[in-house]
A = this chain, B = another copy of it.
Amino acid sequence: MTDTHPAKRPRQTVRGSTSGRPLMLLLDVLGQRWTLRVLWELRDGRQSFRALRERCDAVSPTVLSQRLKQLRELGLIDLAGDGYGMTGDGAELGKMLAQLDIWAERWAEARGGEASAAP
Contacts and interface: CB of A to CB of B under 8 A. Distances in A.
A111 B9 contact: yes
Contact of A100 (B9, B10, B96): B96
Where chain A touches its partner, the secondary structure class is helix
Contacts of A72: 116
B26 A37 contact: no
Interface in A44-85: 56-57, 59, 72-73, 75
Number of copies: 2
A42 interface: no
Interface in A2-23: 6, 8-11, 16-17, 21-23
A117 interface: yes
Given A11-B108, A31-B35, A100-B96, A73 B23 contact: no
B6 A108 contact: no
Interface of A: 6, 8-11, 16-17, 21-23, 25-27, 30-37, 40, 56-57, 59, 72-73, 75, 89, 92-93, 96, 99-101, 103-105, 107-108, 110-111, 113, 115-119
